Amino acid sequence: MVIPLIVIKFSSKELWGSFVSLLLFSLVALQIINWGNKEYLLRQFSQFPNKIKADYSRILFTRLPLVFVFSIAAAFCFPFSFCVFILLWIFGRFLTHSVEALIIYEKKFNRAMAIEVGSFIIFCAVLYSLIPKLDLLLLLVIYSCYQFVKGMLYFLVFQNFLSYHNLSIDLKYFSLTFPFFMLSIFGFLASKIDVYIIDHLGDKIVTSDYQVINSLLVFTMSLSAFLYAPFTKNIYRNSQPVIQKTQRLVALAGLGIVPVSLLIIYAILGFYLNLRLSILFYLAAFLYVYPSFVYGIKVVGLFKQHREKTVVLYLLAGTIINSVLSAAFLYFGFGITGALFGSAIAQLFVLILFYFTDFEK
């Protein structure tokens, strides 16, 4: 979230708006490269703790060829001089995402924080020193090296979980985890499709503003997962009443967290982007963000019951509604607020679907 604010503040919205196309490409690529990795491994680690090293190593190696597939695909979308750095970017993120399940399951949050903060401070120092020379290629170089270094640090810190005799490609993994993959894709599209639509319109300044807004709101949504992620294995191992109690606590916490977060976002948008958005925008923002605090735990409950397909169908419905409504509101001139209202309506629809799902099944 901080990186676009730095670039916009010390360089220009146009530069960040141009970088968003690279960012969106990498995000789609990584959704496919990750292929249900975190969600599947968290369930595997919780249910079969004696196979942690074997599962982690096998799935890491199985997904590795996808990194090179998308690095080659980048050559057809961007200038050839960008491709090496896009490879570094994607490979670094691949390594980072690969250890997410280990961090959550083993609760290695201090190590993760040290890597994140340390690498980010170095990145900011390098970026700030090169601000006068900054253009799209140089920004890509700095950002890609940052992602690569961070990914390598994660890999080295968690290398003890690597089992070299389990480094084999398991093609069955892709069919076995297909529901988790679809869940990840539709969840991603449900939160990002409006950014793609705005980017497609071609206005770099609007794209820059909305990408920052979307990142801030999606981060606020992810706070719900931060509340329960450390206890995921406990959720898998406990009864339905415990899951329901946890869900109620997270929903109540959201009633305090979301308004405070929106006040912070209001300050950020005013100070960094010089944006003064209407009360309707912040109402839409609340309706967009808060449902994740209500149904997040229910998603884990469905995973526990091996009902990933139900979650996929709900998120697919949300993605379709989001796409249609956001595009329509933008077409009829409702701007950023209209695009966000389309996303909010989609989120409320998904919430209703989860609310009427029988979780005792």
In angstroms, the CA 222 to CA 275 distance is 24
pLDDT the model gives residue 32: 93
Q: Are 123 and 178 in contact (CB under 8 A)?
A: no
Q: Are 338 and 285 in contact (CB under 8 A)?
A: no
Mean pLDDT of the 326-336 span = 82
Reading the block at residue 333, the tokens are 């001139």
In angstroms, the CA 63 to CA 60 distance is 6
Degrees to nearest 5, angle at CA 360 with 178 and 348: 65
* pLDDT tens digits, one per residue of 262-316: 999 999 988 888 888 899 999 999 999 999 898 887 887 787 777 878 888 888 8
Q: How confident is the model at residue 123 (pLDDT cuts 50, 70, 90)?
A: very high
> Taking 90 as the threshold, does the pLDDT of residue 176 lie above it?
no
Mean pLDDT of the 3-23 span = 87
State how far the alpha carbon of 259 is from the alpha carbons of 153, 182, 212, 253, in Å. Answer: 36, 31, 18, 11
3-state SS track over the chain: CHHHHHHHHHCCHHHHHHHHHHHHHHHHHHHHHHCCHHHHHHHHHHHCHHHHHHHHHHHHHHHHHHHHHHHHHHCCCCCHHHHHHHHHHHHHHHHHHHCHHHHHHHCCHHHHHHHHHHHHHHHHHHHHHCHHHCCHHHHHHHHHHHHHHHHHHHHHHCHHHCCHHHCCCCCHHHHHCHHHHHHHHHHHHHHHHHHHHHHHHCCHHHHHHHHHHHHHHHHHHHHHHHHHHHHHHHHHHCCHHHHHHHHHHHHHHHHHHHHHHHHHHHHHHHHHCCCCCCHHHHHHHHHHHCHHHHHHHHHHHHHHCCCHHHHHHHHHHHHHHHHHHHHHHHHCCCHHHHHHHHHHHHHHHHHHHHHCCCCCC
State how far the alpha carbon of 129 is from the alpha carbons of 39, 189, 308, in Å. Answer: 39, 35, 47
184 or 254, greater pLDDT: 254
In angstroms, the CA 93 to CA 87 distance is 10
> Taking 60 as the threshold, does the pLDDT of residue 34 lie above it?
yes
Mean pLDDT of the 50-77 span = 92
Per cent of the chain over pLDDT 70 is 94
> Taking 60 as the threshold, does the pLDDT of residue 59 lie above it?
yes
Mean pLDDT of the 78-92 span = 94
Poorest-pLDDT segment among 12-21, 40-49, 281-290, 304-313: 304-313
Residues 6 or more apart in contact with residue 264 via CB below 8 angstroms: none
pLDDT the model gives residue 29: 93
pLDDT the model gives residue 361: 45
pLDDT the model gives residue 141: 96
Reading the block at residue 181, the tokens are 């993959």
Poorest-pLDDT segment among 80-94, 143-157, 169-183: 169-183
Q: Are 105 and 55 in contact (CB under 8 A)?
A: no
* pTM (2 d.p.): 0.75
Locate the domains of the chain by residue range: 2-176, 182-186+203-355
Q: How confident is the model at residue 224 (pLDDT cuts 50, 70, 90)?
A: confident
Q: Pick from 13-27, 54-68, 208-222 the range whose average pLDDT is largest.
A: 54-68
Q: Are 343 and 288 in contact (CB under 8 A)?
A: yes
Mean pLDDT of the 312-328 span = 87
Mean pLDDT of the 20-46 span = 89
Mean pLDDT over each residue of the chain, to the nearest integer = 87
Per cent of the chain over pLDDT 90 is 42
pLDDT the model gives residue 288: 93
pLDDT the model gives residue 234: 67
Backbone dihedral angles phi then psi of residue 48, each to the nearest 5 degrees: -135, 70
pLDDT the model gives residue 64: 94
Q: Cα Rg for the chain, rounded, in angstroms?
A: 20
pLDDT the model gives residue 91: 97
* pLDDT tens digits, one per residue of 180-199: 888 788 778 777 777 777 77
